[in-house]
């Protein structure tokens, strides 16, 4: 049974107190580790019953974030393997802890590596636009600053949750000149911009990028102004299910994020739509920067084939690829 700590963690992910694809993935991994550390199961079946309950609880918090699903499946794949081999409870518990730690370590190392690679794309005098609050995009910009490069950033507010304000604050604290703008001003400023650098929540098999709502509009304005668009994305944000033609579910957030609850009635019969993400086609993206290097978006399928395999209906031995019916 999920502990109060894990239930609070799940609610923090669902309510966006924990936000950002990388942070969500690491939080999910920490949740399974927390279960293992707190479990008092005396036999393997009861341990797995509790494990799967926590797995499902965390899996259902944010439907779009593939980082969450891949983090959970990375761990579950290894625990299931041990369970099928007849491992006792203590081995299952240690396998959960070790797999969680391994994911957390690889996630942080990926951010560091992407920052090193991505910072090479930034030049002295650049004006860079970014959107939302991507930890890997922020790390890339801060790494470029650490290298002594002189550039400035335009950060969008990223309504309705204003994550861009956190980005502006973090970059400013690192000594990078930042201008905060409303989202609708992106096209106005785009002719002055040299590069767009954003993060990603999902990269699909055809190279499309699912990211915070408004990203596709920025990419469209960039294409019109002939400004390069770079997406920073760890390989665990690549979606294996899209290799089989599955569509990415776009999360719809509560209308109260757009209009305060007390003011909704005054609008009358007005429907409020609040999608959290949009999809930027591959042709609007110049390159995806991963911990493995810089790739054109059309090469996303190669990353997926190498990371997850492409044998339908089998579990792979690389990063997790779990049959849909097991989720």
Confidence band of 309 (pLDDT split at 50, 70, 90): low
Look at residue 60 in the predicted model and tell me its pLDDT: 93
3-state DSSP assignment of residue 123: coil
- Which pTM does this prediction carry? 0.85
Q: What is the CATH number of the domain that holds 149?
A: 3.40.50.10470
Mean pLDDT (the chain, rounded): 92
3-state DSSP assignment of residue 178: strand
Overall domain count for the chain: 2
For residue 227, pLDDT over 60 is answered with: yes
For residue 127, pLDDT over 70 is answered with: yes
**Which parts of the chain fold into alpha helices (H)?**
4-14, 21-38, 44-59, 66-84, 89-118, 135-146, 163-173, 186-189, 215-224, 261-264, 300-308
Q: What number is the average pLDDT over the span 114-120?
A: 97
Q: What number is the average pLDDT over the span 254-265?
A: 95
For residue 326, pLDDT over 90 is answered with: no
Confidence band of 308 (pLDDT split at 50, 70, 90): low
Cα 53 vs. chain centroid, distance in angstroms?
23
Shared domain for 9 and 69, answered yes or no, is: yes
The domain in which residue 30 lies consists of 4-109+311-326
For residue 320, pLDDT over 50 is answered with: no
| Dihedral sign computed on CA atoms, order 319, 11, 30, 86 | negative
Among the residue ranges 122-126, 236-240, 258-262, 321-325, the one predicted with the least confidence is 321-325
Among the residue ranges 32-46, 89-103, 310-324, the one predicted with the least confidence is 310-324
For residue 315, pLDDT over 60 is answered with: no
Between CA 49 and CA 94 the distance in angstroms is 16
Confidence band of 21 (pLDDT split at 50, 70, 90): confident
Distances (CA, A) of 146 to 71, 130, 133, 244: 30, 18, 20, 41
Q: What residues contact residue 16 under an 8 Å CB cut-off, 6+ apart?
A: 161
Shared domain for 145 and 258, answered yes or no, is: yes
Shared domain for 69 and 148, answered yes or no, is: no
Shared domain for 137 and 250, answered yes or no, is: yes
Interval 156-198: pLDDT, tens: 999 999 999 999 999 999 999 999 999 999 999 999 999 999 9
Look at residue 265 in the predicted model and tell me its pLDDT: 94
Shared domain for 304 and 320, answered yes or no, is: no
Look at residue 83 in the predicted model and tell me its pLDDT: 95
Q: What residues contact residue 198 under an 8 Å CB cut-off, 6+ apart?
A: 130, 131, 132, 134, 137, 211, 215, 218, 229, 230, 231, 232
Interval 92-106: pLDDT, tens: 999 999 999 999 999
Shared domain for 267 and 148, answered yes or no, is: yes
Shared domain for 129 and 71, answered yes or no, is: no
> What are the catalytic residues?
132, 201
Shared domain for 176 and 100, answered yes or no, is: no
Tokens representing residue 163 in the block: 């994550």
Shared domain for 252 and 123, answered yes or no, is: yes
Shared domain for 92 and 11, answered yes or no, is: yes
Shared domain for 156 and 272, answered yes or no, is: yes
User: DSSP character for 136?
Assistant: H
Shared domain for 148 and 272, answered yes or no, is: yes
Confidence band of 307 (pLDDT split at 50, 70, 90): confident
Interval 60-85: pLDDT, tens: 999 888 999 999 999 999 999 999 99
Q: What number is the average pLDDT over the span 55-60?
A: 95
For residue 119, pLDDT over 90 is answered with: yes
Q: What is the CATH number of the domain that holds 97?
A: 1.20.120.420
| Three-state helix/strand/coil letters over 18-52 | CCCHHHHHHHHHHHHHHHHHHCCCCCHHHHHHHHH
Q: What number is the average pLDDT over the span 98-118?
A: 96
Q: What number is the average pLDDT over the span 29-52?
A: 96
The overall longest dimension of the chain from CA atoms, in Å, is: 64
């Amino acid at each position: 049974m999920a502990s109060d700590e894990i239930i609070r963690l799940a609610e923090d992910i669902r309510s966006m107190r924990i936000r950002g694809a990388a942070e969500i993935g690491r939080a999910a991994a920490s949740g399974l580790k927390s279960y293992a550390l707190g479990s008092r199961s005396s036999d393997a079946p009861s341990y797995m019953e509790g494990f799967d309950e926590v797995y499902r609880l965390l899996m259902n918090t944010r439907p779009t974030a593939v980082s969450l699903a891949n983090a959970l499946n990375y761990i579950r794949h290894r625990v299931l393997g041990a369970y099928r081999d007849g491992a006792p409870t203590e081995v299952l518990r240690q396998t959960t802890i070790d797999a969680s730690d391994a994911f957390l370590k690889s996630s942080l190392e990926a951010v560091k590596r992407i920052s090193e690679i991505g910072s090479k794309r930034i030049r002295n005098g650049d004006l860079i636009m970014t959107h939302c609050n991507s930890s890997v995009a922020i790390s890339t910009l801060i790494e470029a600053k650490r290298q002594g490069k002189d550039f400035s950033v335009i950060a969008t507010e990223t309504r309705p949750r204003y994550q861009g304000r956190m980005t502006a604050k973090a970059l400013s604290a690192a000594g990078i000149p930042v201008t905060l703008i409303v989202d609708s001003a992106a096209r106005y400023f785009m002719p002055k911009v040299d590069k767009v650098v954003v993060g990603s929540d999902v990269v699909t098999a055809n190279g499309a990028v699912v990211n915070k709502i408004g990203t596709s509009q920025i990419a469209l304005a960039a294409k019109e102004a002939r400004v390069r668009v770079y997406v920073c994305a760890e390989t665990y944000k690549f979606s294996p299910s899209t290799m089989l033609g599955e569509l990415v579910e776009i999360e719809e957030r509560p209308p109260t994020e757009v209009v305060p609850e007390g003011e909704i009635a005054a609008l009358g019969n007005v429907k409020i739509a609040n999608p959290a993400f949009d999809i930027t086609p591959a042709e609007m993206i110049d390159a995806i920067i991963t911990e493995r290097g810089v790739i054109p978006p059309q090469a996303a399928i190669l990353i997926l084939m190498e990371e997850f395999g492409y044998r339908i209906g089998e579990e792979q031995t690389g990063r997790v690829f779990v049959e849909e019916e097991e989720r």
